[in-house]
Structure 1
Amino acid sequence: MASHRRSEPGSLDRNTKVGMLTAAAAAATAAAITVVPATAAPALPKEPSATVRAQVDRLFEEAERATERFNEAGERADRLRADVGRARDRLARAQDRINTMRGLLGAFAGAQYRSGGIDPAVELMLSEDPDDYLDKAATLGRLTDHQARQLDELRKEQRRLGQERSEAARKLVELEAVRADAAREKSVVTTKLAAARRLLNEMSAQDRADFERASRTGDRDGALPDPPADGSFGPASGRAAAAVRAARSAVGRPYIWGATGPSGFDCSGLMVWSYRQAGVSLPRTSQAQRYAGRRVPLSEARPGDLVTYRSDASHVGMYVGNGQVVHAPHPGARVRYDPVGMMPVASVTRP
């Protein structure tokens, strides 16, 4: 009879132990694999250049638009200041004429006063300072036709003087509003530029160099041939040629927003200064420069033509031939040559 040995309580046979040990080892190995952090491939360096450069370009573009609005406000303020000055001159002259008329009529009023009566209309006209008029009362005895005409002219002058005063006051209010506009645009420009500088400061030196190259030229290596050494950019009129020479002489000078040279320029300021050297007065803003002459197709551009960019004409350069413009690109850059097609062309204008 076969005998059966009972297993001791809590004991495991060998095969069971081996199986359980194998399962435990497998589980431990799996757990170890699960908790070990992944270090297979190093993280790729983040690629800020495209995004950051696009942000900086956008900020510079917005600052440039605000700069042109600031320039426009400044130009309007200059016109209004001139208008206010002329209005003040007219007021002074009108007041002198009224004072003279009052003096002549005052003499007549004095004579009438001594004779026992004074015309109510004359009294009304002269009521501000009757004593002064009564001192001149020795020469006239009665209101002649000539004096009646003087009285009528005095009334008209007083009405004109009131209108001049109202107009001068309106111009002063408008001037204050324009000054406030300019202050707001200045704040926009400085805010945008500060944000752009912060982004630029976060770039590596290589990224900044790439941005400078790509900011207007489309990131083309060796984008432009050198300009001709003899300055021969093709046919141009005498004044256009003089403006081109002036613009070329400004190459290398810094972009300074709101500036019209000679030490620095914004985009439209460079055009103003260059044509001023040729004896030609241009409007201050790129938007106004767009209409400061005859419009021509880009295919017919000549040296000295003004090339405006973007649909709102918020940037401008001067065509100098050889497929190039000279322009002040943006804050932080210097006046330089770039391809005429660096941005969408809005118009070409021949002053």
Structure 2
Amino acid sequence: MLGGSTVRTAATIALAGAATAAGLDGTGQAAPRLTPEQVKARVDKLYQEAETATEKYNAAREKADAAEKRLRDLGDEAARRQQRLNSARDALGSIAAAQYRDGGIAPVARLMLSDAPQQYLDKAVFAERERARQAAAVAEVRRQLREIRQLRGDARMELASLRSQQEELRRQKKTITAKLKEARRLLSQLPPEQRAAAGGEGGTVRQHVAPAAEAPNSRAAAAVAYAYSKLGSPYVWGASGPHAFDCSGLTQAAYRAAGIALPRTTYAQINAGRRVSRSELRPGDLVFFYSGISHVGLYVGNGRMIHAPNPSAPVRLAPIDQMPFAGATRVV
């Protein structure tokens, strides 16, 4: 049996070993603290990845909205067809009832027993026409039944498409939320003065700023004027105005104000007009960034654009050379 001192000694040794294993003896390697520059680099990357996911979210939402509209239209059309089918069935029922009331006597017997054979023959001709009309009515009912079955099949396909797009929306939303949460966590580790520098990008946020250059036509001018009017508006992923925007939401809203319908995503907007080179840029052109075409701004002249950068920065003026330039499109 061990004595008290032996037990205490063993416990002390065990505790010392545990402390050493846990790094409590001062020799453990703590995770190195990131410099503000490293934090900014990581945050910028997270924002870019979140924006890529945002554009995928926007595309999925656009498809989901279209599928939902098609599903509603199919439902409305099926209801209209069903109403017409019911009317056709009622008409057939009336014809069948009249035949039943007429009895089951053969036509030749009815002719022989008739007091007015000519009148009967006239009625027989009329009846033959009615039978032809009835056959046509039956064929029409069958056609309407086929169309309704087709509509219901189309509706099932649209419903499956809608559910698929809704699942994609959930996936992209989860990705965006995780990226932004990690960016906020990294920024929270910095002092306030460094946090502002690491969290946002260079640019100017001023209301009532005169355009930097004259737009080439009235529609481009209207788009540029709208973008200037939204300086300082918050960035919200998935938003397209009028009070908050993501990058492609801002450019879409700007051209909507000019009477032009742009697609919702950066991937589609780059193909919404004529491609132009960087040296050809004019106010109103759309400028795109990164190899995945995940960011867009509205060029306003003198090497600057108005864009919605990321959740840490509102809509602002910025130089176009602060991000990797990927191309430009002239809408009008």
TM-score, length-scaled by structure 2: 0.78
- Does 2:286 correspond to 1:299? no
1:345 match: 325
Kindly state the Cα deviation for residue 113 of structure 1 after the two structures are TM-superposed.
Answer: 3.2
2:143 match: 156
- Does structure 2 conserve the Cα–Cα contact (< 8 Å) formed by 1:108 and 1:141? no
- The structure with higher relative contact order (CA 8 Å, sep 6+) is 2
Kindly state the Cα deviation for residue 228 of structure 1 after the two structures are TM-superposed.
Answer: 11
Q: Which of 119, 126, 146 is the matching residue for 2:133? A: 146
Distance 1:113 1:311 in 2: 77
One-letter code of the match for 2:169? Answer: A
2:179 match: 192
- Does structure 1 conserve the Cα–Cα contact (< 8 Å) formed by 2:209 and 2:228? no
Distance 1:58 1:192 in 2: 9
Q: Which of 298, 311, 315 is the matching residue for 2:295? A: 315
- Structure 1, unmatched stretches of 5+, are 1-44, 118-139, 218-222
- Does structure 1 conserve the Cα–Cα contact (< 8 Å) formed by 2:208 and 2:228? no
From the superposition, tell whether residues 197 and 227 of structure 1 become closer, same or farther in structure 2 (CA, over 3 Å). Answer: closer
Distance 2:101 2:40 in 1: 89
Distance 1:115 1:190 in 2: 75
From the superposition, tell whether residues 227 and 257 of structure 1 become closer, same or farther in structure 2 (CA, over 3 Å). Answer: closer
Deviates more, 1:201-210 or 1:287-296: 201-210
SS state at 2:233 partner: coil
Kindly state the Cα deviation for residue 46 of structure 1 after the two structures are TM-superposed.
Answer: 5.9
Q: Which of 158, 161, 169 is the matching residue for 2:156? A: 169
Count of residue correspondences: 278
Distance 1:333 1:348 in 2: 23
Distance 1:196 1:153 in 2: 64
Kindly state the Cα deviation for residue 327 of structure 1 after the two structures are TM-superposed.
Answer: 0.3
- Structure 2, unmatched stretches of 5+, are 1-31, 105-125
- Please, what is the CA RMSD of the aligned residues? 2.3
SS state at 1:341 partner: helix
- Does structure 2 conserve the Cα–Cα contact (< 8 Å) formed by 1:244 and 1:304? yes
TM-score, length-scaled by structure 1: 0.74
- Does 2:216 correspond to 1:236? yes
1:78 match: 65
SS state at 1:144 partner: helix
1:42 match: none
- Does 2:90 correspond to 1:110? no
Structure with greater helix share of residues: 2
1:271 match: 251
Kindly state the Cα deviation for residue 111 of structure 1 after the two structures are TM-superposed.
Answer: 2.4
2:310 match: 330
One-letter code of the match for 2:191? Answer: S
One-letter code of the match for 2:285? Answer: D
Kindly state the Cα deviation for residue 173 of structure 1 after the two structures are TM-superposed.
Answer: 1.5
Deviates more, 1:317-326 or 1:46-55: 46-55
Deviations 1:88-127 (CA, angstroms, capped at 9, x unpaired): 111011111111111111111122334567xxxxxxxxxx
